[in-house]
Amino acid sequence: MDRVALRGLRIRGHHGVFERERKQGQTFVVDLAMGLDTRSAAAGDDLTKTVHYGIVAEEVAAIVGGEPVDLIETLAQRIADQCLAHDAVREVEVTVHKPEAPVTVPFDDVTITIKRSRV
């Protein structure tokens, strides 16, 4: 399986369980890798036979910048579902980073990583 990846998408969102997170918002960072077979696209140099990563980036931005959720697990699932809605995508790995999470001790990052595939 070939992989098309987007790394470091930075989007402002209003997700979290605390009122402050919902009101003020924060930057979320998304990494994703989509598994697909790119041979047909490569053979014909045909964008319609692969996944358009620019469109995927815009869709991810709309999800993260859209309706607030409590959990980054929910956010990751919504992103995975959207990626799998593209016909060419067979599987996806999504990591959502929450570097500004309300944690009371020094930390670098909080992440959730999920893998999903077509059944």
Catalytic residues, which ones?
Answer: 98
Q: How far is CA 119 from CA 16, 32, 57, 84, 116, in A?
A: 30, 19, 24, 11, 9
